[in-house]
Amino acid sequence: MTFQMGLVLIFELVMLLSTACAALMAGWLWWHSRYQRLLAGLAGFGAMMALWCLGHIFILHQQPVLGRSLLLANPLMPTFFLHFAIQFVRQGAQDRPWLQRLSAAIGWVYFASVLVILLSLSLGASELIPGAVLPVVFVFSGYGWLNLLYTVLLGVAAHAVLWYGWRHHQGNKKRSIGAMFLAGGWGLLLATSFVFPSFGLDWFPYPMLLLPSYPLLLVYGVVRYQMLAANAIANRALLWLVMSLLLLLVIALISTVFGQLGMQTLATVPVWQLWLYSSLVLLLTAACYRPVARLAERLIYPGARLDEQILQSWQLQLAGAADWQELAAAAQQLLTAQLGQQVLVQLQDIDLGLGGLRLSATELQGLWRCQVSGDEDLPPGLRLVVQVFASLLQSRCATLQQSLQLAQTEKQRLSSQHLVEMGALAASMAHELRNPLNIISMASAGVDAELRGHIQQQLKRADRLISDMLVYSGRLNLNYSQVPLRPLLESLTQQFDWQQVQLILQVPAELWLRADPHRLQQVLLNLLDNAHAFLRNQPDAKLCIEAQELADQVQLRLHNNGPALDPAVSAQLFRPFISKRAGGSGLGLAIIKRIIDAHQGQICHRADLGWAVTFEFSLPKEPAHVG
């Protein structure tokens, strides 16, 4: 008799626990259904399961009308589950006509379920009889079998929909459906004892004692692949279960040890009371864990106040930097404000500010690393802040580098496209301009000789401008070969009448490089032509050409003592249409710059080598990626 009373109490507690679990999960799912509407059907299933479990408690407490009403509302559970299954399977899959029709008819299914429930309540579909274990149990009778059959059919329909979804989905969706099948099989195994008394079987309510696990497993199986929050809750629940089992084991050991030591007072305390008290202590410990952890963190890491809002603010402000200068300034400002002391941040050899604490970010073999120095006097909390900030800065440096590389690639693509378009335009303009120039040249044959000479001079200037424009806007195709420098320079200098200009050639006879001879000749002719234009009428004029080999490069310098260039002009010297030479096109130096760049070299103007004007350019002796 005592065992039977204890089993009744356990069954009642299990039903209360199942009600609480189902109700909590229903509320949680309903809250999250704001973002995933399909969870509303599963929330309804959980709510109906909570009411169904509550119906068993009402029957035990002699509330037969309310208890029978809740148990006869059984068809609404598979109705909600069928609704959820249809929505879950249709999401992200090819819709079949029968599935569309079933989804459209779900309202009629709810109506039929409510109608079956009302018929069951009004036509006497159940009875209460004495049970083998429980004082009273629920059994179906009369129209109650219709209620049971309708419920089973709805469950079969829901699982048929899931079977279809399992066959036609992949990845996490398929895993979720598989988890639903496993949880549904477990729930069916447990809940079948509900109908055993109706068939005269005395197995009720033993399987029902594990019923609280059913709603938890079902909901977790559905959402574990969809929502990270569910996995966090499951992690805490599993931890709580393991702790509870360990607690039961410790209590059993304590009772045994106390009995052996003769401490009968403690040994005779009921195990369930010890477990209840210990569970309350465990709950209190869990509730105090976070406040105590925060207190310990403040004691161990004083001054470290890092939360999600601060980290998001850091990320947003670092992400707003468009270049290395801005990123270094933003990082220095943020870290200085957080620490309350001056910090030096170094990125890509950029130094900003002063201070003993230094944060530097460097790249090595494609990976960014942040190093902190001067933090020896910081408390542990502030050192933790610096380390967290350094990890964010390291990530932002990698992202910024990728962004700048993409921007540079896009700039080069647009520049290449622009040159192609400009080349086509220049070719068309050259054709259209040379036709009238030829007509003008032929028409000038009958005019005065002096006027004809003037016309021919201007026509040559126009033709030279057209030729330069075609060279500048055209595509450079380089044909590399071995070029000995001194013979090339000697042949080019002989093409000019230097008159009173002193020409100095300081180029080793054995010096050579690999380049396009025609393009290199263009560069040297343009530079020599410019020098000749400024030096030919100047007294004591000098032109010095020197070349030398530096590591894997060849450097050439063309010095002259002609008029110095205005610094304002020197800054824009290699841009098109910038010229100080009378009659010049303004494209000569721009063409030179294009050719040198194509050879992977560099060119610049200098005025710090003891000469009024120096053009210095260097070319690789063996350019990369050259066949």
Output 55 or 427, whichever has higher pLDDT: 55
Same domain as 324, residue 221: no
Same domain as 164, residue 59: yes
Same domain, 110 and 184: yes
Residues 183, 77 within the same domain: yes
Q: Report yes or no on whether pTM surpasses 0.85.
A: no
**pLDDT tens digits, one per residue of 66-76:** 888 998 998 99
Pairwise CA distance, residues 63 & 20, whole Å = 20
User: CATH no. for residue 96?
Assistant: 1.20.1070
- Whether residue 333 is contained in a domain is answered as yes
Identify the pLDDT of residue 353: 44
User: What distance in Å separates the CA atoms of residue 174 and residue 163, rounded to the nearest whole number?
Assistant: 10
Q: Into how many domains does the chain fold?
A: 4
Residue 75: strand, helix, or coil: coil
The amino acid at 321: A
Task: Specify whether 58 is located in the same domain as 132.
Answer: yes
Is the distance from CB of 488 to CB of 517 less than 8 angstroms? yes
106 shares a domain with 211: yes
Where does residue 538 rank: exposed (0-12), middle (13-18), buried (19+ CB within 10 A)?
A: middle
Are 288 and 312 within one domain? no
Structure tokens at 194: 């509900």
33: tokens are 């259904």
State pLDDT tens for residues 512-528: 888 988 888 888 988 88
In terms of domains, do 141 and 70 share one?
A: yes
Domain end marker among 341, 371, 406: 406
In a 3-state reduction of DSSP, which class is residue 37?
coil
CA distances to 6, 15, 190, 428 from 135, rounded to whole Å, are 12, 16, 20, 105
Q: What is the mean pLDDT of residues 216-235?
A: 58
Residue 97 lies in a domain: yes
Q: Which two tokens stand for residue 383?
A: 């050192």
Least Cα distance to 11 among 188, 199, 207 occurs for 207
- For residues 110 and 9, state if they share a domain: yes
State CA 445 to chain mean position distance.
73
Residue recorded with tokens 């009720």: 204
Domain check: are 84 and 194 in the same one?
yes
Q: Which of 391, 406, 421 is the last residue of a domain?
A: 406
Helices (H), 553-619: 567-570, 588-598
Q: Work out the percent of the chain whose per-residue pLDDT is above 90.
A: 9
Beta strands in 44-113 (DSSP E): none
What SS3 state is found at 506? strand
pLDDT value, residue 554: 92
The gap from C-alpha 248 to its chain's centroid, in whole angstroms, comes to 46
Query: Is pLDDT above 60 for 229?
Result: no
Q: pLDDT band at residue 352, thresholds of 50, 70 and 90?
A: very low
CB atoms within 10 A of CB 82: 26
**Residue 200 falls in which region: left (phi positive, over 0), alpha (psi -120 to 50) or beta:** left
Stronger pLDDT, 205 or 43, i.e. the higher one? 43
8 Å CB contact between 158 and 82: yes
Q: Which domain holds residue 256?
A: 248-300
Distance, in Å, from the CA atom of 344 to the CA atom of 366, rounded to the nearest integer, reads 24
> Do 83 and 36 share a structural domain?
yes
- Whether residue 287 sits in one domain with residue 317: no
DSSP E strands in 299-406: the ranges are 343-347, 350-352, 357-364, 367-373
Question: Is 232 a member of any domain?
Answer: no
